Structure 1
Amino acid sequence: MLYTALGTGIRLGNSLTRTMGSLSAKMAEYRKMWKPSEPKDWTVQYQERYIPFSKSQLVEYLAQEFHSSNGFEKQSFLSFVKQLEVSLLQPYHSVLEDLQVLYDPINPDREAMLETTSLADSEKLSREKEVLDHLQDILDQANYNILSEDALAYALIVHHPQDGVQVHVNLDKYEYIRYWALGQRLGPLTLQMTQKPQDSLFTRSPRTQPDRRYFKRVLVAARPRNSHMVLKCFKDIPLEGLEQLLPVVKVRTSSFDRTLLNTMLLVSGGIVFVNVGMVVLTDLKIGTSFLLFLFAGFMTFRTWKVFAQRRKAHSLELAHMLYYKSTSNNSELLGALTLRAQEEHAKEAILAYSFLKQLNIPNDGKKIDPEITLQLKKQVESWLQAKSGLEIMFSAERALENLTNLSRTKE
């Protein structure tokens, strides 16, 4: 069996059946605000749990700092790590197999040798809910945070000036939209949402990129109506750019670009009318009203052409960004998430093992006192902050429970 670490996830249950009405209401609230800088109660809603070191890095740090007093202690620690890795292989492999079996009937990339009867839309929706419900346990152990409707409403309303591409999302076209994220950071993005903002005609980017709130990984589960669930993972996505990851979006021109384009068209059109139109009016004796009608038609066609070209350029930028930011999708993503959950599971157990040693608490399979659990939590969080510079919430109860279960399986 997989330890109870995978049984603590927040169940989606009937939440996927809720309409998008509450999200629309939250969007209306953000429209009334003046330049909101983040979703409401963001620090309460999102608490980072992802341990920002690989397992090998973590083992190296802990071995040097806590297990280097003598060769026997270090060897004992490394032996524990190896035993832990082996003990997690079969449980997580079984979890992945069960998840893939559950997902296979609705997998849009399935390579079936024979055509099978397609599922009805209502049955597909039911199976998708079941998959997401099971997947939530994996995501919880992988230390993903489910993003609230407040966060999504904020992303749909607020647009960062660095994001040249903007999209319009029609909520009526979706059955549900869910986001999970981990690795929140505040700093300049090495790769902006538009690949080469310096090539844009209306670049407003300063030479020094501003600090932005972004996530190392973002998982999207969205279902357009009368279609199938889209399950994708992306890297280095800013909070204000979450909506660009959705399917069935419409690229739109920003208010700033629309104003600038219209101004340029009006100015250039006025110059053409004064320098050419008046000559035509004088030489050919064409009526003023007819000339104005021709000019209006020309300007309408020119405006449509310019905006169509602009939308095509933005669509290409969006496709380019999604190509480079995408990490995995659909069935392959299930394997990647399971591996991440397995690694986070191991890292939490390794931290708990090392710090219990420092507290001289034996790892004998017995239940740990709540006061010791709290002390362990504070010490690990303090150590992680000192090492990474980030505030990370350590799941001490889960780590100790997994460690206890591991000790019991050895007996």
Structure 2
Amino acid sequence: MSVAVPADAAARDHALPIARSVLVRRLLEAPAFASWRIGLERVAGALTDLLHVEYHRQAERLKDLYAPLDPAAVKPGVPVIPAQADAFSTALRQLLARANYQVVSADELDLALKAESVFQVKLHTRLSDFAELTLFARGRGHRHEIVRSWFGLRRRLIDVEFFEHVALFVRFQPDEHFAPRKRAKLPFKPGTTTLKLFADIPVADLEMLLPNSEVRMRTLDQLVLGVPALLGSLGIFAQLSAALLFVVGLGLSIVGLGEKPAMVTQGELVAFGAALFTVGIFASRQLARFRFKKLQFLKTLTENLYYRNLDNNAGVIHHLVDSAEEEEAKEAILGYAFLLAHGPATETELDTRIETWLAEVIGKPVDFEVDDALAKLQRFNLVTREGERFAAVAIDQAMTVIGKRWNDVLGV
């Protein structure tokens, strides 16, 4: 199994936590852009429409690449062609990068596997089941959660670090990997590729997103169930001791290793049978308690995943395409608007201006990808460059350039 690690595990989050429509409205309301309001609104709308068409085509290509890998389409025993899986993996990673998702590092995943769950559920995952496993996250924050302990008698407030969105990409090992292991019914199809998208996931609970996670008993719960069971069984077996000694003596006499024991009365036999019945009832009760506790854990896990799961498999592609389209549009609109209103600027100057404005609007620091924004504007011919300084083209020219780009996209 390969777990991807980003080149810079400490890279800052580039996602812009503001809707495109709200961003455009705030831009148009700002005094600095008052002179350009009507023109900027036209350019922003045209850019958004152009990106929408381009990303629609990318969505269709991604769906075609994913179709033979979808668990609903893969037939048991029919191997998936590795080249197909690799092509889809490459295209998906490119899309996620445009949507400002970053790869969750191997260290963070390892922490999730070892850390105590915020939801107080212990999980076990076989990482060897995966031929490829990568988690992508976007948006990071902190919130407070109330955690119960001592059977709900104690409550404490803890600080929880969480991801706003997490995309899961998993490619399972082929059939031959699982055949010699003789495992029970697998909760997935070997050789398939699974996509999942989640929201509001604690960093320490990334493990619960993995599709082969199994609920296990925590040490505390094992003690709660095990200690009473042990003490109860000692009392029951003490009652059985006399009858057990008789059975052992009888067995030894039969094989010639002991004297024939004295005959027991009917009352003693009834007592012995009653004791055995009690042992059976006690064992059944403990087993039922164990199963009930495990069902409680499964219920907790299911409830938390149910409200956090945004989409699965092919549906994830549509979510990610929409996110990428939004992020690309916001970056391009911001870059063009600031160059138009404030005049030519270097990459650093433009980055500082936009990040300062975004921090005031959003209320927290944002790492704007100025290089990505300028690359898009250059691709659309909406900026010119002289040395290290970039300048926005006039609004009428921008509309003409976008119109020509539309004709190229539509093949007119």
Return the alpha-carbon distance in structure 1 between the equivalents of residues 151 and 88 of structure 2: 44
Aligned letter for 2:101?
A: Y
Return the alpha-carbon distance in structure 2 between the equivalents of residues 381 and 265 of structure 1: 62
Is residue 375 of structure 2 the alignment partner of residue 401 of structure 1?
yes
Name the CA shift for 1:214/1:204 in 2 (closer, same or farther; >3 Å).
farther
Is residue 104 of structure 2 the alignment partner of residue 121 of structure 1?
no
Is residue 197 of structure 2 the alignment partner of residue 239 of structure 1?
no
After TM superposition, list the pairs within 5 Å mapping 1:218-229 onto structure 2: 218-225=166-173, 226=175, 227=190, 228-229=192-193
Deviation of 1:48 after TM superposition, in Å, equals 0.9
* Aligned match of 1:137: 94
* Aligned match of 1:339: 322
Aligned letter for 1:143?
A: N
The secondary structure found in structure 2 opposite 1:121 is coil
Is residue 186–residue 211 contact of structure 1 (8 Å, CA) maintained in 2?
yes
Is residue 170–residue 249 contact of structure 1 (8 Å, CA) maintained in 2?
yes
Is residue 66–residue 354 contact of structure 1 (8 Å, CA) maintained in 2?
no
Return the alpha-carbon distance in structure 1 between the equivalents of residues 44 and 317 of structure 2: 25
Deviation of 1:403 after TM superposition, in Å, equals 1.5
Deviation of 1:54 after TM superposition, in Å, equals 0.2
Return the alpha-carbon distance in structure 2 between the equivalents of residues 92 and 63 of structure 1: 26
Gaps of 5+ in 1: 1-18, 27-40, 111-115, 362-367
Q: Which has more strand, going by share of residues?
A: 2
Is residue 277–residue 291 contact of structure 1 (8 Å, CA) maintained in 2?
no
* Aligned match of 2:182: none
Is residue 217 of structure 2 the alignment partner of residue 259 of structure 1?
no
Is residue 132 of structure 2 the alignment partner of residue 176 of structure 1?
yes
Is residue 335 of structure 2 the alignment partner of residue 379 of structure 1?
no
* Aligned match of 1:91: 54
Is residue 66–residue 358 contact of structure 1 (8 Å, CA) maintained in 2?
no
Return the alpha-carbon distance in structure 2 between the equivalents of residues 204 and 239 of structure 1: 26
**% of aligned pairs identical?**
25
Is residue 164–residue 199 contact of structure 2 (8 Å, CA) maintained in 1?
yes
* Aligned match of 2:113: 156
* Aligned match of 1:230: 194
From 54, 66, 72, the counterpart of 1:103: 66
* Aligned match of 1:327: 310
The secondary structure found in structure 2 opposite 1:50 is coil
Name the CA shift for 1:176/1:295 in 2 (closer, same or farther; >3 Å).
farther
Deviation of 1:90 after TM superposition, in Å, equals 2.0
Is residue 32–residue 341 contact of structure 2 (8 Å, CA) maintained in 1?
no
* Aligned match of 2:25: 60
Name the CA shift for 1:59/1:187 in 2 (closer, same or farther; >3 Å).
same
* Aligned match of 2:155: 206
Is residue 289 of structure 2 the alignment partner of residue 306 of structure 1?
yes
Number of equivalent positions? 348
The secondary structure found in structure 1 opposite 2:140 is strand
Is residue 111–residue 204 contact of structure 2 (8 Å, CA) maintained in 1?
yes
Q: Deviations over 1:218-251 (max 9, x none)?
A: 1111133331111110111111111111112211
Q: Deviations over 1:169-205 (max 9, x none)?
A: 012222221100111111136xx9xxxx87x993477
After TM superposition, list the pairs within 5 Å mapping 1:5-84 onto structure 2: 19=1, 44-67=9-32, 69-70=34-35, 73-84=36-47
From 183, 186, 190, the counterpart of 2:142: 186
Deviation of 1:165 after TM superposition, in Å, equals 2.0
Is residue 357 of structure 2 the alignment partner of residue 357 of structure 1?
no
Return the alpha-carbon distance in structure 1 between the equivalents of residues 40 and 213 of structure 2: 51
Name the CA shift for 1:306/1:49 in 2 (closer, same or farther; >3 Å).
same
* Aligned match of 1:165: 121
Gaps of 5+ in 2: 176-189, 245-264, 383-400, 405-412
The secondary structure found in structure 1 opposite 2:290 is helix
Is residue 69–residue 80 contact of structure 2 (8 Å, CA) maintained in 1?
no
Is residue 349–residue 400 contact of structure 1 (8 Å, CA) maintained in 2?
yes
Aligned letter for 1:138?
A: L
Aligned letter for 1:309?
A: F
Q: Deviations over 1:353-385 (max 9, x none)?
A: 232234312xxxxxx7xxx10122223223333
Deviation of 1:117 after TM superposition, in Å, equals 8.2
Aligned letter for 1:406?
A: F
Is residue 355–residue 368 contact of structure 2 (8 Å, CA) maintained in 1?
yes
Q: TM-score, normalised by structure 2?
A: 0.73
Aligned letter for 1:247?
A: P
Two-structure CA RMSD over aligned residues (Å): 3.8
